[in-house]
Structure 1
Amino acid sequence: MKASGGSSPGPNHTGQLTVTEGTDSIVGLAMIDADGPTGIFVDRFGPVAW
């Protein structure tokens, strides 16, 4: 199965970010407490307008 859109990472499976950079937003979201914001889009630098 091939996903539509975008490009394949190729056989080396390398991306544009390091592992640490790629997980910045995930860790940030995991650290939001129960009273934090919901329904937001984020990248590694913070909330992204939509």
Structure 2
Amino acid sequence: MKRIFGLAAIVAGGVLALFFPDLEFGWFRGRPLGIVLVVIGAFELLERGRRR
């Protein structure tokens, strides 16, 4: 389940950062929010890999 969440966060963050950098979500802008999602997704995938 964490692998799916990590991959989804990386894909969603990449789309936000690359294709919607000026889109606003409340106080968040697309590019910084996308970068944060990519980092969280990568952390989830790395954490799952370490447990094995």
Return the TM-score normalized by structure 2: 0.30
Give the TM-score, by structure 1 length.
Answer: 0.30
Greater length-normalized contact order (CA 8 Å, ≥ 6 residues apart): 2
Instruction: Write 1 or 2 for the structure with the bigger share of strand.
Output: 1
